[in-house]
A = this chain, B = another copy of it.
């Protein structure tokens, strides 16, 4: 703690030469498990982006979600930015803008708190942008353009949409108690439920039983009750998701139905956002990017949830064009900051 208070974290700035007078932009992706910061050069031109994108440095730190770790989030953010700058050979005085896409930012008060933290580190001419982590995920697919819809499905799930004129909408993202059934947690919890139901006679037999009990080293479905309540973390249950896919691929009907239902749930979240924002235009056929993020949506050999979600959405909105981002959300955040800055300048 003392280290941060004394600002020794920035000592490297006196030890390394500042590289020319080029300016850089910092993009941050702040999650509940890790925080990633990338340092990219500030590209003046508004032409096409260079390929590959010029990422000067990348640093990783722990959780920066204020809801989870409180004021420690500030130290984490400061540390990860200092690390990225140190690696890149640039100093704080070269930073033109910081764009932070962080989970747990839902209200203007959340944004203002983080802006205040950043303002203690950076002088007034540095532009500071603080957004929800879904914005970074969208921008990682659209390369900085804030238009379209992003569907995130990992441990949890949320659909977020944005329009060119600044409107936004979300669906799901309320956690498992409030029905995020298409998430990795939701899918795995339904699989565990199916095992209990098969065991007590309420549901059909399923290969999920042998598959999951073997994986967890349990001998009976009864023991799942104790296993589940021993540690209520969502990620621990969501980690069973690949077993559900394997069972479905091997022909298990119960697992197959869970995945089919989840595809409908995920597609419904996107449709609700697209509908509310009118992303599809008046005739419902306007093109819009649909950015797909998270472990649940990544392509599997046979049972490909991401592809099925797209198929389901395309029936209603043929203009949806899916993007599986090649860039990570921190790069998306940097590009987003770059776009915000260009809008202010021109």
Contacts and interface: CB of A to CB of B under 8 A. Distances in A.
Interface of A: 106, 169-172, 174-179, 189-190, 192-193, 196-197, 200-202, 222, 224-225, 228-229, 232, 237, 268-269, 272-273, 275-276
Contacts of A269: 200, 202
A201 B169 CA distance: 10
Given A268-B202, A272-B200, A272-B201, A192 B171 contact: no
Q: Give me the 10 closest cross-chain CB pairs, A-B, nearest first.
A: A179-B193, A201-B272, A171-B200, A202-B272, A178-B196, A174-B196, A174-B225, A201-B276, A202-B268, A178-B193
A178 B225 contact: yes
A344 to B, nearest CB: 30
Contact of A189 (B177, B189, B190, B197): B177
Q: Which of A171, A200, A229, A268 has its CB near the most chain B CB atoms (within 10 A)? A: A200
Given A170-B200, A200-B170, A175 B229 contact: yes
Given A178-B196, A193-B178, A197-B179, A202 B237 contact: no
Given A174-B225, A225-B174, A179 B196 contact: yes
B193 A228 contact: no
A275 B106 CA distance: 50
A193 B225 CA distance: 24
A70 to B, nearest CB: 15
Among A177, A189, A193, A222, the one with the most B-chain Cβ atoms within 10 Å of its Cβ is A177
A192 B172 contact: no
Nearest to A229: B175
A275 B200 CA distance: 10
A200 B222 CA distance: 37
Contacts of A176: 177
A52 to B, nearest CB: 37
A32 to B, nearest CB: 13
Contacts of A228: 174-175, 177-178
Contact of A192 (B177, B200, B201, B232): B177
A271 to B, nearest CB: 8
Contacts of A192: 177-179
Given A177-B192, A179-B197, A201-B273, 19 more contacts: A169-B201, A170-B200, A174-B193, A174-B224, A174-B225, A175-B225, A175-B229, A177-B189, A177-B229, A177-B237, A178-B189, A178-B193, A178-B225, A179-B189, A179-B190, A179-B193, A200-B273, A201-B276, A202-B268
Contacts of A169: 200-201
